[in-house]
Structure formats: C-alpha cells, structure tokens
Amino acid sequence: MSLFGDFFEKKKSESVVLIDIGIGSVAGACATVTAGEPPVLLYTRRLPIELHADEVPEKAMLRALKVLGDALVREGAPAFMRATGCGTADTALVSIDAPWQETSVRTEHFEQDEPFLFTKSMVTEALEKASSAPEGKVLVDESIIGTILNGYETRDPYGKQTTRAAVIILTSLIDEHIAERIHETLRSLYHVASTITIAGSSLRYQAMRIAFPHERDALILDATDQSASLALVRKGLLVNVIEIQTRTRDTVTWAESVTSTLRDLSKHFPLPRTIFLLAREPDITSLKEVLDGADLAKLWLSDNPPKIVSVLGSHLTGLVRQATTASPDISLLLMALFCQHRAPAEKM
C-alpha cells in the first residue's frame, strides 16, 4: 500500500529530502523524483552521531540531525535551485533504524467458505482494528509488504475473487518523545507538504526487491552503520527481521555475532543460499572477507558456502543517478529507488 500514491499523481516531478537515521550516524540527500525516469541525487551528506560525556544517545542523535538538516538547507537548497528552478522541497522521507525504532512482522488472515471479493477496505478495516501501540510508543510505520491470495503472492490483489488471503505487515514503533523531537527538528528546517516516516528495514527490503527482482529467496545483511540487522526473504516476501546486538568495530567479533544470529535463525527457517551484504563501500570489502572466512557452510549443512553479494552503488546504475561527486551511499541510493517505484500508484 503506497503512502506516496495520491501525492505523486498530482505532479510528474517532485523535490524530495531524504533522511536516514541510524545508530551511529545520520545521512541526508536532496533528490528529484520524476515519473518514468531514474531518481537523481543532487546532494548527499552523512554525519557521525558523536556522544559527549554523560550524554544520553537520544540527545546526540538529535544534535547530529540538526547539524545535518542545516547542511541540507544551506547546501542542498542551491542544488534544488539549479536542478528545478526552486530551492524548496515538496516531501521529506525519513528512514529510522534501531535503536530508535522497533520492528516486527505479522500476518493478517482472511478466509471464508465461499469465494469472496478481496478489497482494500477489508485490509484497511483489519489494520484499524489491530493497530495499537503500547503506552509511551507511537506507530510510525505500518507497511503492507506482501499479499497472498489462495497461496500465491499477488502484486495487484484488490478486486480479485479468493477463498483465502493473507497480508504481511511490517510494523515499526518508536518512543513517543523521540518521535516528537525528530519531527520538531524537521519542521524547524523544512516547510514540506508531506513528511513520511518508515522503518529502515522495510524500506531496504522493498528497494532491494526492485533492484534484484529475480532473487526470491535471500538474506539481507545490513551493516551500513555500527550495528547490523538481518532480514529473511522467502518467495519474495519478508518473513523476519532480526537486530544483531553488536556495536563493535572489530570485524572478527562482528562476524561471530552474525554467525550466531544465522545459527539461531536456521533452527526455525531453512536459510537461503544468497546473502546480500549492505555496507558503506570503504568497509564492505573487509566485511565480506571476514564473512567468507567464517565457514558459514556449516550452517547450511553443505560443503559449499552461501553466495555473499556485496551490494555496491554500481549495482544501481541505471536505476538511480547521482549528480554529485560524493562517494555513493547505499542507504540513500536505496531510499531514492524506493521513492521512485512507490510513487506512481499503489503496489500492493
């Protein structure tokens, strides 16, 4: 279910501010999204979250976000002006990762004895009944990431007859205070028509499905920041998301944490043989090398190790354009790709 549908149908081209909030850094980009063309990153910037003595992490993150926002206004606005003739943005898309948000995946089932018409209103009603957040938390993202009719994934499910349907939903919660402070910061910087918040794991899964449409079974190992997360995709659908509890810069210890997480996951699901590794390009080679040496084949009960694919900016050539000399930032590239393909119409 696209959050962008109605907005992007009104105009063919939009100026978008992209904000990525991770555990150890924040990043931003100014981009143009035009129907039928690759999105263009006009300006990008990533800043570390630097924790001062006796300071809570939230304060450090918000300070970095404010500095990033100032840079996007000061340096990004001229980029918008050169590209579009206007120095302001229409939309802000904010991707939030752990520890600032908590992600879970659930499935809503619909079943009747006789064939019935599967409609958008049925899904909306089910979501409204189930949507609730614990005290002190706010629901910031509830993305429909897959629909199954009579056992088969369907990209255009509404208006079809079925006897069984299932909707896979990724939900993200964030501390109410942090959510308000993030939006306060953004409101002080941008006067945009729409601000959209999404879980980073949801966004990257959907963008990776666009970039690698033929890989229906895979693991997405996201190490783009100081922490890591693991997403399991089976038959094209996101099945599980696990946050890997490690903030070490030691690659051997990091690989041990990844291996332990994979071992636990293999007790509940068969593991796909393809692992997509997402990381910053200066780090991705060393991370892949240490994973190659971790003897992961034992987890697959095979002599052949899984295929580890380092996802680089070059993989997205033709899908996203970067009109800046800054090094490619895979998180921002995937955000731009998500914008482009979620814009024209509802996809699920």
Q: State the CATH number of the domain containing residue 183.
A: 3.30.420.40
Residue 301 and residue 180 share a domain = no
Residue 285 and residue 145 share a domain = no
Residue 263 and residue 131 share a domain = no
Residue type, 240: N
Half-sphere exposure of residue 255, counting CA atoms within 13 Å on the CB side?
Answer: 15
CATH of the domain at 156: 3.30.1490.110
Q: For residue 311, which of 189, 158, 205 has the smallest C-alpha distance?
A: 205
| Domain around 128 | 103-172
Residue 146 and residue 26 share a domain = no
Q: Is residue 348 part of a domain?
A: no
**What is the C-alpha to C-alpha distance for residues 206 and 196, in angstroms, rounded to an integer?**
16
Q: Which two tokens stand for residue 98?
A: 């752990």
pLDDT at 9: 47
| Strands of the chain, DSSP E | 13-21, 25-34, 40-48, 91-96, 101-118, 137-149, 152-153, 160-175, 194-199, 218-222, 228-234, 237-244, 274-278, 307-310, 321-322
Rounded to a whole number, what is the distance in angstroms from the first to the last CA of the chain? Answer: 5
**What is the C-alpha to C-alpha distance for residues 254 and 175, in angstroms, rounded to an integer?**
27
pLDDT at 189: 75
- Helix/strand/coil for 347: coil
pLDDT at 20: 95
**What is the C-alpha to C-alpha distance for residues 49 and 68, in angstroms, rounded to an integer?**
10
Q: Is residue 83 part of a domain?
A: yes
Q: Is residue 208 part of a domain?
A: no
Angle, CA 57 vertex, CA 55 and CA 59 arms, to 5°: 70
Q: Is residue 347 part of a domain?
A: no
Residue 128 and residue 91 share a domain = no
Half-sphere exposure of residue 346, counting CA atoms within 13 Å on the CB side?
Answer: 13
How many folded domains does the chain comprise?
Answer: 3
User: 147 near 157, Cβ under 8 Å?
Assistant: yes
Residue 252 and residue 162 share a domain = no
Residue 189 and residue 95 share a domain = yes
Residue 9 and residue 92 share a domain = yes
Q: What is the pLDDT along the chain (348 residues), one digit of tens a residue?
A: 343 444 444 456 788 999 999 988 999 999 999 888 899 999 999 999 999 988 899 999 999 999 999 999 899 889 988 988 887 888 889 999 888 888 888 889 999 989 999 999 998 888 887 777 788 888 887 878 889 999 888 888 999 999 999 998 888 888 888 888 888 888 877 777 788 888 888 899 989 999 999 999 999 999 887 778 899 998 888 888 888 866 566 788 888 889 999 999 988 888 999 999 999 888 899 999 988 888 888 888 777 888 999 999 999 988 999 998 888 999 999 999 998 876 433 333
Q: For residue 307, which of 276, 264, 344 has the smallest C-alpha distance?
A: 276
- By the 10 Å C-beta count (0-12 exposed, 13-18 middle, 19+ buried), 149 is classed as middle
